[in-house]
Structure formats: C-alpha cells, structure tokens
Amino acid sequence: MLERPLIAAFITLLSVNAECVAQGEAAVPFLLISPYAESNAMGQSSVSTFTDDPLAALDNPAHLGMQSLRNYFSSGYNYNKLLPGFQQSDLWYRTFAFNAGINLKKLWGIEPELGIGAAYSRIRENLGDFIVTGPDPTPLGTYTAYETSDQYTLGIGINYWIKASAGITFKHIYSNLFPPGGGIQQMPAKNPTVDSYDYGFLFDVPIVEVASRISQEPIMISGHWAPLFNLRLGFAKNNLGNKGVTYFDLIQPDPLPRYARIGIGFNLGVRYSDEKVDIQPVSFKWTIEANDILVRRYPALIDSSSQMVLRDASWEYQTGLGDINFFDEVILGRGNPQTIKKKGWELTFGGLFSLRGGRFEEDPNHGNRHFSTSGWGFRTSGITKWIGSENVFGFILNHVDIRYDHSDLTTDEVDHPLSGTTFDSVQILVLN
C-alpha cells in the first residue's frame, strides 16, 4: 500500500492541479491545458484564430480543414513545466502532432477549392514519481503517475468566396494515477481508460476580396498596395461522451471535462505585390472567445438533523453552449461569472516575426485564474516573400516552413502556482 503521507501529498497535488487548470469540476483536467505556445501567448484564445500550427486542432478540429487547403504535411511539438511555482522538475506537459492534407484543386483542378486532412496527436501530462511502501515505511519500489490522450482527427475545408472548415477528433484517454494494487485504505483504485471526441467549425470571411469580386474590380490603396480585412468565427465542443471516469468502484464516476468554446476575431493588414514579390509588411490579428465547462454538479441533500442523506451528490452534462451568452460575452465583451473569458492579439512584421499578447479571466468561485500572457514567434517562409523564389534555395524556403513560438504567463496573484509558466513550440510545414 502507499504510505499515508504520500497519499495525502498525492491527492493534494491532484486537487491543486484540478483547481488551477480546470476549475475543479471534472476528471482528467489535463485535457483543458492549452496545447501550444502561439495560443498561450494570446491569452489561450484559439477557437477562431487562423493558424498553421498543427497542434491547434487539439482545441478546434476545424483548424485541420483550413490547414489542408495550404499544407501537404505539418508536424508540431510543445513542451512546458507544469505549475512551476511548486518547483517540481517531474511535473511537465508535452504534446506533438503529425498532420497531412491535400488540396484537390491544386492536385486535380477540382472546383471549388477543397482540402481534406488527417492527423494524429498525443498529449502526455507527467505528474511525478512516487514511492510504494508496505505496511511499514520500507520502500518497495517506485512508480510514475501520468495521464495521456491519443487523438485521431479528420478535417475538411472549402474555399469559395469565404473559407469554411469542419473537423472531428476521436480520443483515447488513459489515466495512470495509482500503482498496481494501489488505493486508499481498503478501497482498491483503478487506472481508467475512456474514449471521447471533439468537433468544431471555423469560418473566415475575406471582406476586401468579396467586395472586389462583387464590384469586379480589385480594391487598392494605391499602386501595388491593397488592404486586407478578414472576419472570423469559430466554435468547438471538446471531450464529449456520456461516460464518466471511474477511479473507485464504490464511488460515483467523475465527469469528463466537457467543454464549449465560441469566439470571433479579425485580421487587418496591407499587402504589396508585383511581378517578383507578394508580401504583407504588417498585419494585426485580434480575437475574443468565451469558454464553459459543461458540467453541472449538485451537492448532497442532508436533513436538518445532519444524520440522513436525502439525496446523494450528483452531476450532469450541460447541452449546447452551457452558460455562454454569445452576444453579451463575445460580441459586447461583457463578463459572466459562470464562464471563462479569453482574448488575444498578434502583430506580425513581413510574415517573419510576430509579437503576441493576451488576457485570461475567470470568476473567483469557478477557478479564480487571472493572468496576462505575452510571446513571440518566428517563421522562415516569410523570407521568400521578400527575396522571391526563382532559385532552388528560394523554392525550398517557399515550400518548407520552420516555425518557433514562445510564450510567458504572468499571474495577477503573487506566488501563484501558475506564475512563471512558459510554453515553447516548434513546427515544420510542407506547403502546397
């Protein structure tokens, strides 16, 4: 059996992690950690952003459909320390993804432009090494507590006046929190597996392009300069499924962290093009979204004598958007104590270098996380936007893109366990 102090420490660790990461309302809260640096730098807003990062499909599977319009292949990797305020080197979080896509118009000339993508990704949260003991404190061995999720994603995107995409992800989740024969007192514990799925949609409306097509004349600022203005809308639901997560046979299962995301955004910029180059000297991206954990809990009902339980504690999954009010929260930007508010921005120079910032806000009674984010990113494909691609080296740079992104998290509260969290992501893309 596990030594009692270690059991207490282990449960404390899990409780703190659940409260800090997922409002303490559901099991396997690691599924709600934002999986890549670009999103984390923008306040963890991701559902309606337009990105090539292959890890973005973990938040909204529809990203894969959009990416398949432009990319043959992409791979991404992210790593960060968990809860750095605890200063535990064996607490970490890692994600990686492999995406593949084809654009049927570019491949076979099929109209309208249609992209189809498939992807595999994996999440691993490492929760540390623990000592197994017998009835006395003598160590019998050690084990590593961890949780993983394997994702298989399908996406489809279409470009006909506007761009629209949809995606679905199937998940296989494994929670390895206890050693063989582990448990609390006389209650054996399980290391459960559970299957789940996500789905999402993403829309991108190029206002200037649509207006140009309607007027049958390109809208220009002057000479070779043209304005850019795109509106975006994204929606996703994550961790769906009617099953719960069972750790102990005699205790009610915990719910999955079913999650709803909906957001809007826009992209502004200018474009310069001539016979040799096609560049965006500067562009600005902004997004806002509302999120909600779709789990409603009901406490146990006890009579006035505190001796008889009239109703056991229970929970249920919410439908639709849960407590999200799209118009009030996303359009008007108002707060809602029942939901999470995320917003972020990105300023990109020459398609090469990006600066990012954002804000994450949560009600004190539902997680109480308040932090600001910042970060930067660099990509190599922007080089050929300036030098052209007439030689072999330029052609390779124009079709192979290597990206690196970094983000930092700053909490409002001093010495918060999340304070000092950083994310680092690297991606490689083969563009069509």
Predicted local distance difference test score (pLDDT) of residue 9: 37
The structure's pTM equals: 0.89
Give residue 22's pLDDT: 36
Whether the per-residue pLDDT at 232 is higher than 90: the answer is: yes
* pLDDT of residue 24 exceeding 60: no
| Mean pLDDT along residues 331-342 | 93
What value does the mean pLDDT take over residues 346-371? Answer: 91
Report the distance separating Cα 405 and Cα 373, nearest Å.
13
Q: Is the pLDDT of residue 357 over 90?
A: yes
The average pLDDT across 384-402 equals: 68
Evaluate if residue 20 carries a pLDDT over 50: no
C-alpha 171/C-alpha 162 separation (Å) is 30
Q: Who has greater pLDDT, 106 or 7?
A: 106
For β-strands 301-302 and 309-311, DSSP reports them as antiparallel
What are the residue ranges spanned by the domains of the chain? Answer: 4-431
Dist. CA 59–CA 171, nearest whole Å: 13
* pLDDT tens sequence across 243-293: 889 888 777 888 999 999 999 999 999 998 887 777 889 999 999 999 999
Give me the pLDDT at residue 421, please. Answer: 92
Could you tell me what percent of the chain has a pLDDT over 90?
A: 60
pLDDT tier at 355 (50, 70, 90 boundaries)?
very high
- Three-state SS letters, the chain: CCCHHHHHHHHHHHHHHHHHHHCCCCCCHHHHCCCCHHHHHCCCCCCCCCCCCHHHHHCCCHHHHHHHCCEEEEEEEEEEECCHHHCCCCEEEEEEEEEEEEEHHHHHCCCCEEEEEEEEEEEEEEEEEEEEECCCCCEEEEEEEEEEEEEEEEEEEEEECEEEEEEEEEEEEEEECCCCCCEECCEECCCCEEEEEEEEEEEEEEHHHHHHHHHCCCCCCECCEEEEEEEEEEEEEEEECCCEECCCCCCCCEECCCEEEEEEEEEEEEEEECCCCEEEEEEEEEEEEEEEECEEEECCEECCCCCCEEECCEEEECCCCCCCCHHHHHHCCCCCCCCEEEEEEEEEECCCEEEEEEEEECCCCCCCCEEEEEEEEEECCHHHHHHCCCCHHHHHHHHEEEEEEEEEEEECCCCCCCCCCEEEEEEEEEEC
How high is the mean pLDDT of the chain?
86
pLDDT for residue 311 is more than 90: no
pLDDT of residue 243: 84
The pLDDT tens digits of the residues spanning 379-392 come to 987 776 666 555 55
Residue corresponding to tokens 């970490």: 92
pLDDT above 70 for 10: no
Please tell me the least confidently modeled range out of 192-201, 238-247, 313-322, 389-398: 389-398
- The pLDDT of residue 414 is 83
Is the pLDDT score of 83 beyond 90?
no
Query: 144: closest CA among 107, 92, 97, 101?
Result: 92
